[in-house]
Structure 1
Amino acid sequence: MIKNNQYQKLKSHFKTLLYIFGMLIFSQTIHAKDIKISSLKELATYASQSGNVIIMTPGVYKLADYLTVDSMRVRHEQNKFSYIVFSGSNNVFKLDGVEIEVDTELRTALNPPIHSDEFIIQGGHNTFHGLTIRCIGEGTSPGGTVLQVAGQGNVLKDITLYVKGSSPYGYGDLFGKGKAKETVIKHKKHSGLLVTGSDTKLYRCKLYNRSFGHCFFIQKNPENVYFEDCYAEGAIRTTDDILTETSGPAFDVNFRTWTQNREGKYVVTPGYMKSLSEDGFRTYGYSKNIHFKNCTAKNTRAGFELRAEGVRLENCTTIGTERAYWVGDNAVVKNCKGDANYGPLLFVEGSNVNVELILDPAESDRIVHALATVQGRNNKVVLKSAKGKKRTQDLPILIGYTHPEHGESMSPYGEGETSGLQFVNETGMPVKIGKLTRDSEIKTNGKVIEDKGGNTKVVQDN
């Protein structure tokens, strides 16, 4: 055992080390150089250095002027699959009014391995202000993202990405995704902004996605990631329009899908709306302390598909998504809102969640089969109507049911174990309680169209 005097000495040494470390960081900040640059070559040079303030002259900078198509073969041979790597630390990059124009033909010429990223923030404790990256052209990527934030403690403010460069584009995930064995058409995906580094903070970042891939997403289990006032937008297309094609990849596979529809057929079904991108905000793995505040997703596949444990959302919004919110264990969703214009407002598949959602009454002529599905243990869910307005079209709330396969709107719903649920429905929408629901309390101002639950108290508040 450590004696008291030894403990006090160790404590004193530790405080001294902390002080020295803090002074080193403070000294670096105080003596940071202001460096003005006006080229991508200079930006790449200072990206690998530390302790500077980089101020770049506003303007449009074409990546192809710095890294030519002809140079891509050599870069491939040298295993240089990223365009610029920010490997330095403790920098401030003032890039307001700076736009990097990225011709996607460069990616085709480079032919990188799957999941290679184009711009990488590898160092730590950097701050980036105001950069825009715009993809142009008709080239494709075999995977990967425009920008990855891999280092620790980086802050991004007012970053805007315009993403394109996937193949095929125009069908969303109708024909599969990734390495799934059911995939009918293999994709070359191209995503937006990936966070893998802990303590990353993003403020007022915007992503306009015209590619099959995610907008903002998190992988490799980082902790303490924060999004505030961020915006993700995709594009949408009706399945009816897809079925009018007389040539192309969908036509070539006879419109065969990777999931079955409600008639048990694997075919594109008219009447639905598809997002052409993947999710607006997405988590993978076991990331901890992920927080979203005042963020919006529009026309993406899922608005917020956050199935990692303990995610928190405040004042977030979805508009025109295939499904709005999809949450897992211990999620907290407060004062968030969304519509069920093209698909469900909510999927709950975890336990111990606390959800408060406001339903926007927007409607369309597209087929939607449910407002929400809820399964799991000890969940608290409150659904309200925006300004007390009720939808004219009824959408059932399915308690004791699972989301459809892969979340696909055309596919049927299953049933899932549900217990200890406290559910309040103030939307006026009907409620359907499945046979796997038990030991729950449900208060609703909508009619109960079916109740097969066990030991479940239902109070109708009409």
Structure 2
Amino acid sequence: MIKLSHLKRGRKFCISLLCALGMANAHSAINVTASADDGNVPANTLDDNLDTRWSANGSGQWIEYDLGATHTVDAVQIAFFRGDVRDATIDIQVSNDGGNWQTLFSGTPPTRTLAQQYFELDDTSARYVRIVGYGNSQNNWNSITELDVVTLASGENIALGKATSQSSTGYEGVSSRAVDGNTNGNWNQGSITHTDNEYQPWWQVDLGSVRSIDQVNLWNRTNCCSSRLSAFYVLVSDVPFASQTLSGALNQAGVSAYYFNDTAGSPTEINIDRTGRYVRVQLSGTNPLSLAEVEVIEGSEIVPPAPTGPDASWTFCAAEREQCAFSNVKEVAYGAGDSWNYSIELDGVTCNNTSLGDPVRGTVKSCWIRNAQQNYVAVRNLAELQNAISNSNQHIRMKRGVYEATALMSDNTTVFRFDGANNVLDFTGVTIQVPTKLLNSMSTQPIHSQVTYDVIGDNITFLNGTFENTYPNGQHDVTDFTAHNKNPDYWPARQMTEFRVWGNGVQFLNNTITVRGSYPYGYGDMLGKGAGSAVYLRKHAGVQISGDNVLIDGMKLTVLAFGHGIFMQGADNTVIKNSVVQGRMRLGADMYNDGPDSLMGAFNFEQQYPDHFVGLPIVRDLMYNLTEDGIRAYTQGTKLDGSVVRTGVITVEDTKVINMRGCVTTPLASKPSYIKNVEIQGCSVGYALANNSDVINSRGDAGYGPLLHSTYDTRNNANVEITVTNIPSTGSHAFAYIAGSGHNITFLSDGSNPDVPREIRVGDTGDRWAGDPSYQDAANILLINETNQPVVLTETSRNITGESVSKVTDNGTGNSLD
């Protein structure tokens, strides 16, 4: 019996004695399993008895709960055996399929007690909940006495069977299919809508009357073309939409817009919390629009209370979903009771969750204003922005909106130059779009001067902005790589960087950057990556850091081009935290489908780089990165004053790097790198480190390349602790290549088993120096291997000590690995 505590709109639904007693309520007879037990079985955690327990010994043991169906998981309540005298260390993970897991919590309980403790989570759609234990403060035992899963209860789907329409119909994919109750994403099952391939297609439903809407759930097509449903809006209105165009709908009074930048899942849940009769889904670019199902979940009746502000210094401006109108710059408070979001706004703002964020779900909110507590420079267009950023010592607030750059600066190599110093740039609600066609109009001389945002001044803060390149056809990403690589309007004039940071003390706080446009694109570095490449490269990187003491916090960087994510050249004390850097992978077989007139077709689909791969055909069942490295250090860089300086300390914390060529690669830095609580996924190289570096409490897989790679045997004294996760894998690479000396390396298991066994090779630097023992030295290394991956100590290994739970093959000298 898995107990689900259902929460909805601030109320807790008690349907059992336990709930009435202050504990969670019992509901739904499903299933619980565990990786192991000592006779104290997993079912004991569901028997409402704190005197029974599940127990298993060893780091990485897990207990898993199948909820039987997808729920929105809001929290987990756990009581720990002997929890009053020791602290358990756990991960709380969720999954929709039982195979791909997302970690929502890592750490220890908030206090010591025998009672259930409440672990609040980000509301996440999931069917499975897993607790992974890493022992406790006294020993390696994992013991839980009781567990409850707290979910948000779903209301009625009020879109089912209602009247629908769409901008056009293609392939008999009629609009009514999205409200037939069938969420199957396979086109062949006949329950998916389909419009023509057109600009900003839309689908909408008429609910018949104005209803309270809690959320909208979308199911995407799954057997093909799921990326089409990305960069879209969900629009809600009490009255009919007056326009079929996206701009018309966005500008219509009373319409709330909810933007989703990524590819939709099955489902994708979008919180609404307003009334509405008409719900529309509309793409922002050109593509067919296909929906497997759309659910509109009814909310509780919204009864507005008499609004009150945060305190007496605030003046009422607008009720929720109304326009809060004022001129110039004001401070705005949005919320209710004790829950408020605060922002600086220019010339008014729509008083809703979309604009101001939701400080308290399920409560009617209002907007309040007061004069700004400091002077702000108001910016209402891009020309005013360029003028403002040439000055110093300012707080700059740009008016919310979407702005498209149409011209270069006078040097013809730059779009924006931030000359001023000590400026705070508030871009909340601002999107700046720079078309790839404009980048292609840049001058090709001088070299290394092509940049979109040139950040020269010291102590500049970028706050809450969205910056993206746009394609002429409006697509989120490339689908026809052959056409892309033939059309210069889709790539820059030559190699360039989106943000180049010269200044010291620059901060990026909660920004979203999407890099598009490069030549080539679709084939990674198999045509070269520098001098001597098989084609003329027009690479396009994300953020180059050459200044010192730069902070990147809360950045979401998506690289849809051939180039690095974040890279350091001559920078010292760079800190990257709470961020995501994501690229794109492609299966080799898909490249052959580009045809003989494609860019790789001209080379008979044979790789031209690196040297040891030249002439080899693209491997059909291998996943290839289309980008360069996620977080990368170069040996040195040139400062703004012309001096050449070695790259220094790099710190990466609480960050995720996905589908880049190398995830975190810093071996060329002259000072240590400190990597803490980082997760890498699906990269050709996971971690590669400088001397004296740390990788602590981090995670990663070896699905598409080695998890840990010593690219040089001169890198020493790394301290590494990585928990191994698993994804479906391709290729013949090793699990890890380890060389150098003085390392302490620990590989922990998350409890899952890789689908392909791969060797942990000590005394090997991989393909680059294969066959040359002078580059393979490994000595005086402590290795702890708690995974099922075999260890091979090569002929160039010596004095390797430690322990392994899996097979060890020792061909070295003086090794003692048990």
Select 2:458's aligned residue among 99, 114, 124: 124
Instruction: Give per-residue Cα distances to partners, 1:99-121, cap 9 Å, x unaligned.
Output: 11111111211233343211111
Instruction: Give per-residue Cα distances to partners, 1:184-212, cap 9 Å, x unaligned.
Output: 23321011111111011111011111100
**SS state of the match for residue 382, structure 1?**
strand
Match of 1:112 in 2: 444
Match of 1:303 in 2: 663
Cα shift at 1:413: 9.5
Contact kept in structure 2, 1:129 and 1:156, CA below 8 Å: yes
Match of 1:15 in 2: none
Q: Which moved more, 1:194-203 or 1:439-448?
A: 439-448
Match of 1:231 in 2: 580
Cα shift at 1:260: 6.9
**SS state of the match for residue 421, structure 1?**
strand
Cα shift at 1:371: 0.6
**SS state of the match for residue 459, structure 2?**
coil
Instruction: Give per-residue Cα distances to partners, 1:364-422, cap 9 Å, x unaligned.
Output: 3x224211000001111111111x3332421111110013229xxxx999760111111
Match of 1:354 in 2: 719
Distance (whole Å) between structure 1 residues aligned to residue 608 and residue 794 of structure 2: 27
Match of 2:626 in 1: 276
* Length-normalised TM-score, structure 1: 0.84
Question: Aligned AA for 2:741?
Answer: R
Select 1:391's aligned residue among 754, 757, 763: 754
Distance (whole Å) between structure 1 residues aligned to residue 611 and residue 805 of structure 2: 31
> Aligned in 2, Cα 1:261/1:148: closer, same or farther, shift over 3 Å?
closer
Superposition pairs for residues 79-158 of structure 1, below 5 Å?
79-113=411-445, 114-115=447-448, 116-137=450-471, 138-141=489-492, 142-158=494-510
Higher helix share: 1
**SS state of the match for residue 278, structure 1?**
coil
Identity in percent = 27
Question: Aligned AA for 2:698?
Answer: C
RMSD: 2.2
Match of 2:558 in 1: 208
Contact kept in structure 1, 2:549 and 2:574, CA below 8 Å: yes
The answer to whether residue 605 in structure 2 is matched with residue 240 in structure 1 is no
Match of 2:648 in 1: 288
**SS state of the match for residue 107, structure 1?**
helix
The answer to whether residue 708 in structure 2 is matched with residue 376 in structure 1 is no
Distance (whole Å) between structure 1 residues aligned to residue 412 and residue 612 of structure 2: 47
Distance (whole Å) between structure 2 residues aligned to residue 443 and residue 321 of structure 1: 27
Match of 2:728 in 1: 363
Instruction: Give per-residue Cα distances to partners, 1:42-72, cap 9 Å, x unaligned.
Output: 11001010111111111100101xx2xxxx5
Contact kept in structure 2, 1:185 and 1:249, CA below 8 Å: no
Distance (whole Å) between structure 1 residues aligned to residue 718 and residue 585 of structure 2: 30
Structure 2: state its 5+ residue gaps: 1-371, 472-488, 636-645
Match of 2:780 in 1: 420
* Length-normalised TM-score, structure 2: 0.48
Question: Aligned AA for 1:53?
Answer: H
Cα shift at 1:275: 0.8
Distance (whole Å) between structure 2 residues aligned to residue 451 and residue 216 of structure 1: 39
Contact kept in structure 1, 2:607 and 2:614, CA below 8 Å: no
Question: Aligned AA for 1:398?
Answer: R
**SS state of the match for residue 156, structure 1?**
strand
Match of 1:26 in 2: none
Match of 1:322 in 2: 684
Instruction: Give per-residue Cα distances to partners, 1:68-110, cap 9 Å, x unaligned.
Output: xxxx5xx5xx534211111111111111111111111112112
Contact kept in structure 2, 1:261 and 1:412, CA below 8 Å: no
Contact kept in structure 1, 2:459 and 2:506, CA below 8 Å: yes
Higher RCO, 1 or 2 (CA under 8 Å, sep at least 6)?
1
The answer to whether residue 775 in structure 2 is matched with residue 441 in structure 1 is no
Question: Aligned AA for 1:291?
Answer: T
The answer to whether residue 397 in structure 2 is matched with residue 35 in structure 1 is no
Contact kept in structure 2, 1:340 and 1:363, CA below 8 Å: no
Match of 1:24 in 2: none
Match of 1:457 in 2: 816
Distance (whole Å) between structure 2 residues aligned to residue 266 and residue 185 of structure 1: 17
**SS state of the match for residue 600, structure 2?**
helix
> Aligned in 2, Cα 1:320/1:243: closer, same or farther, shift over 3 Å?
same
Question: Aligned AA for 2:497?
Answer: T
Question: Aligned AA for 2:517?
Answer: G
Distance (whole Å) between structure 2 residues aligned to residue 273 and residue 289 of structure 1: 32
Question: Aligned AA for 1:235?
Answer: R
Distance (whole Å) between structure 2 residues aligned to residue 413 and residue 235 of structure 1: 33
**SS state of the match for residue 288, structure 1?**
coil
**SS state of the match for residue 440, structure 1?**
strand
Match of 1:337 in 2: 699
Contact kept in structure 2, 1:148 and 1:195, CA below 8 Å: yes
> Aligned in 2, Cα 1:178/1:165: closer, same or farther, shift over 3 Å?
same
Distance (whole Å) between structure 2 residues aligned to residue 157 and residue 184 of structure 1: 39
**SS state of the match for residue 405, structure 1?**
helix
Distance (whole Å) between structure 1 residues aligned to residue 561 and residue 741 of structure 2: 37
> Aligned in 2, Cα 1:303/1:260: closer, same or farther, shift over 3 Å?
closer
Instruction: Give per-residue Cα distances to partners, 1:206-248, cap 9 Å, x unaligned.
Output: 11111000111111x1111111111111111111221333221
Instruction: Give per-residue Cα distances to partners, 1:262-287, cap 9 Å, x unaligned.
Output: 89853323321101111111111132
Match of 1:23 in 2: none
Q: Which moved more, 1:412-421 or 1:348-357?
A: 412-421
Structure 1: state its 5+ residue gaps: 1-29
Contact kept in structure 2, 1:293 and 1:313, CA below 8 Å: yes
**SS state of the match for residue 209, structure 1?**
strand
Cα shift at 1:438: 0.8
Contact kept in structure 2, 1:32 and 1:51, CA below 8 Å: no
Question: Aligned AA for 2:723?
Answer: I
Question: Aligned AA for 2:387?
Answer: T
The answer to whether residue 515 in structure 2 is matched with residue 163 in structure 1 is yes
> Aligned in 2, Cα 1:207/1:412: closer, same or farther, shift over 3 Å?
farther
> Aligned in 2, Cα 1:351/1:204: closer, same or farther, shift over 3 Å?
same
Higher strand share: 2
Q: Give the count of matched residue pairs.
A: 410
Cα shift at 1:329: 1.4
Distance (whole Å) between structure 2 residues aligned to residue 225 and residue 79 of structure 1: 29
Question: Aligned AA for 2:513?
Answer: L
> Aligned in 2, Cα 1:95/1:262: closer, same or farther, shift over 3 Å?
closer
Distance (whole Å) between structure 1 residues aligned to residue 437 and residue 744 of structure 2: 49
Distance (whole Å) between structure 2 residues aligned to residue 202 and residue 230 of structure 1: 8
Distance (whole Å) between structure 2 residues aligned to residue 107 and residue 264 of structure 1: 31
**SS state of the match for residue 110, structure 1?**
coil
